[in-house]
Amino acid sequence: MNSPNPYAPPRSNVVDVVADSDDLELAGAGVRLGAYIIDSILGTLVTIVLAVAIYLSLDNEAGPGAGIAWLIFLVSASVLIWFNVLYVIRNGQSVAKKWLGIKVVRSDGSPASLGRIFWLRNVVNSLITSIFGLYFFVDSLLIFSDSRQCVHDRIADTIVVVA
């Protein structure tokens, strides 16, 4: 019985296409630090607007200032989140990484997904930092290793490269 089964699913050879990681140039520690600082400043500015909105909301004499502050907070937070998500989906970049010409990819050079970047690089990293305060320093210092991978890069199996 060498005749093919007419009810069997079709078969085909599929070859995965993966970017050649030899062509990737790792981003330097300075530019990664710069991107972190810029992203932190942007997040801090949005947080300051939130603090002002909360403060004005608690002040009964603030009048329409509280509503305007809340509106500015909602718009600025939405815009920052929108652009970060858009850039991460498109090319593995935050706003600052886009400005500085670097991006996050998988260690094999393939694109890193939004979920991988958000959950493994950011959420898990933040949880570990909140439990072990010194973890942040260890994580940051590993940028000077040969692979230039911080702990959160190793957890997410990512590298940061020149875009």
Q: What are the extents of the domains in the chain?
A: 25-162
* CA distance readout (Å), 52 to 16, 38, 62, 65, 68: 51, 21, 11, 9, 10
The distance in angstroms from the start CA to the end CA of the chain is 55
66: nearest Cα among 80, 54, 83:
54
Evaluate whether 96 touches 102 at the Cβ level (below 8 Å): no
Evaluate whether 36 touches 96 at the Cβ level (below 8 Å): yes
Evaluate whether 51 touches 72 at the Cβ level (below 8 Å): no
Interatomic CA distance for residues 33 and 29, integer angstroms: 6
Interatomic CA distance for residues 147 and 29, integer angstroms: 11
Six token digits for residue 27: 């981003």
For 64, phi then psi, to 5°, come to -75, -5
pLDDT of residue 22: 64
pTM for the structure as a whole: 0.80
* CA distance readout (Å), 84 to 40, 51, 94: 13, 22, 5
pLDDT of residue 80: 95
Interatomic CA distance for residues 28 and 58, integer angstroms: 45
Q: Look-up: residue for tokens 């939405």?
A: 78
pLDDT by residue, tens only, the chain of 163 residues: 567 788 878 777 765 545 555 689 999 999 999 999 999 999 999 999 999 999 988 887 777 888 899 999 999 999 999 999 999 999 999 999 999 999 999 999 999 999 999 999 999 999 999 999 899 999 989 998 888 999 999 999 999 999 9
Helix count and strand count (H, E) for the chain: 7, 2
